[in-house]
Structure 1
Amino acid sequence: MHDLDETDLEILQLLLSNARRPYSGIADAVGLSAPAVSDRVTKLQEMGVINRFTIDVDRSQLRDGIPVLITLDIASTGSDVASIKEHLLGDGAVEHVFTTAEADLVIYARVRDNDIASWLTDALDDDAFDDFEVTLLAGADWSPDLGETEFALTCAQCGNTVDSEGTATRIDGELYQFCCPSCETRFMEKYDRLQREAD
């Protein structure tokens, strides 16, 4: 398995600042050849470190609603936070959804009119949240940076950190990381057993 190193972090930082940066430019910056950079980016994608390449649109340049920050107090009646997040992210007005330690959702959105309550009840079921708080934003800046980040892939079986001794396997299109071959074997056995029981 490819050992993730400082060069991989440099490549990620360069791609964060400009995902369309040519591999030849990245290669000059990190001291590798363009094909070597391409190989590393492909490996980072296969490992699930890079999920997708996207663009950062400055919506202030578009007529796209009023920028607001909404803190949503999720209903204590057992509402599924994950499905609420997924539903909100599918709404064109929502750019980001954050989950707090208290299981509240903080939403950055651009709402077309200033009737946030109506927009929320249209976007979500009435019983999905108990209360909400709105902050009108004057602007929003985003600065993608890895800072002092280190790689910490987690074993899908035991939760330990995956290092150079680790393995990876793709199951039904999803890549799983393992700290050792025995964890991979145990995971596969459990996965196969659950598949048989489901059928």
Structure 2
Amino acid sequence: MLDEIDLRILQLLTEDARRPYSEVADRVDLSPPAVSERVRKLQEHGIIRRFTVDLDRSQLREGTPVLVTLTVDPGVGDDLRDALLGIEGVEHVYVTADARVVVHAHAPTEDVRSWLFAEIDADAVRDVDVRLLVDADWAVGIGGEAAFALTCIECGNDVGPGGVTRRIDGELKPFCCSSCETLYVDRYEEIADGAD
């Protein structure tokens, strides 16, 4: 299903998402239409979520660079992450396993707490730690040992070369084999029939 060529395409696009498909094709020994089709499939599988721009906000002199750690009530991390990502100036949000949400942002004011709490529910936050950043950088890349990890939605096994996909209600679902596909589809149709 996914192979070393896909991994190389991802590495090349990670280095420069605006790299022309003709250049990628030369580097992976495929035609530009074949590269385009592979990129489309990577997007369809959710491996490529979007193409974006990495801005150096220090060059734009926009806001104060901060790293904010919010200690939150268990179970609210995902909702809080979504709310934080909607705030202008927030660049990255991370949710940790120990009920913390870490935010890298360029705050438009020195009163970072007031800025954040104007946009999020303060009741879900137990503690706030704000640190001024001197510098920030991040490297997007795929490690040399990276492997694709599509998981069968029926049994949880890895989807290998014999795997299949099927579009169900507009969403592409990965299966490790046709048996898992059949089991999933049969159960899905049974539930759908019961809902009518």
Q: TM-score, normalised by structure 2?
A: 0.92
Offset at 1:109? Answer: 1.0
The answer to whether 1:143 aligns with 2:139 is yes
Q: Which moved more, 1:85-94 or 1:36-45?
A: 36-45
Distance 1:170 1:177 in 2: 9
User: Could you tell me which amino acid in structure 2 is paired with residue 24 of structure 1?
Assistant: S
Q: SS state of the match for residue 161, structure 2? A: coil
> Contact 2:73–2:99 (CA<8 Å) still a contact in 1?
no
User: Could you tell me which amino acid in structure 1 is paired with residue 185 of structure 2?
Assistant: M
Distance 1:174 1:184 in 2: 14
Offset at 1:62? Answer: 1.3
Offset at 1:170? Answer: 1.8
Q: Residue 161 of structure 1 aligns with which residue?
A: 158
Aligned pair partner of 2:46 in 29, 45, 48: 48
The answer to whether 1:126 aligns with 2:122 is yes
Distance 1:82 1:123 in 2: 15
The answer to whether 1:176 aligns with 2:176 is no
User: Could you tell me which amino acid in structure 1 is paired with residue 129 of structure 2?
Assistant: E
Deviation per CA, 1:75-94, whole angstroms, max 9, x where unpaired? 25xx5221111111111121
Distance 1:125 1:91 in 2: 13
Distance 2:26 2:91 in 1: 34
Distance 1:4 1:116 in 2: 44
Q: Residue 111 of structure 1 aligns with which residue?
A: 107
Q: SS state of the match for residue 73, structure 1? A: strand
Q: Give structure 1 regions of 4+ aligned residues with deviation exceeding 4 angstroms.
A: 196-199
Q: SS state of the match for residue 95, structure 1? A: strand
Residues 164 and 135 of structure 1: CA distance in aligned 2, closer, same or farther (over 3 Å): same
- Size of the aligned set, in residue pairs, is 195
Q: Residue 187 of structure 2 aligns with which residue?
A: 190
The answer to whether 1:97 aligns with 2:97 is no
> Contact 1:48–1:175 (CA<8 Å) still a contact in 2?
no
Distance 1:195 1:138 in 2: 55
Offset at 1:191? Answer: 2.7
Give me the identity figure in percent. 53
Q: SS state of the match for residue 15, structure 1? A: helix
Offset at 1:186? Answer: 2.1
Q: SS state of the match for residue 106, structure 2? A: strand
Q: Residue 9 of structure 1 aligns with which residue?
A: 7
Mind listing any 5+ residue stretches in structure 2 that lack a counterpart?
Answer: none
User: Could you tell me which amino acid in structure 1 is paired with residue 141 of structure 2?
Assistant: D
1:74-93 to 2 correspondence within 5 Å?
A: 74-76=72-74, 79-93=75-89
Offset at 1:108? Answer: 0.8
Q: Which moved more, 1:35-44 or 1:158-167?
A: 35-44
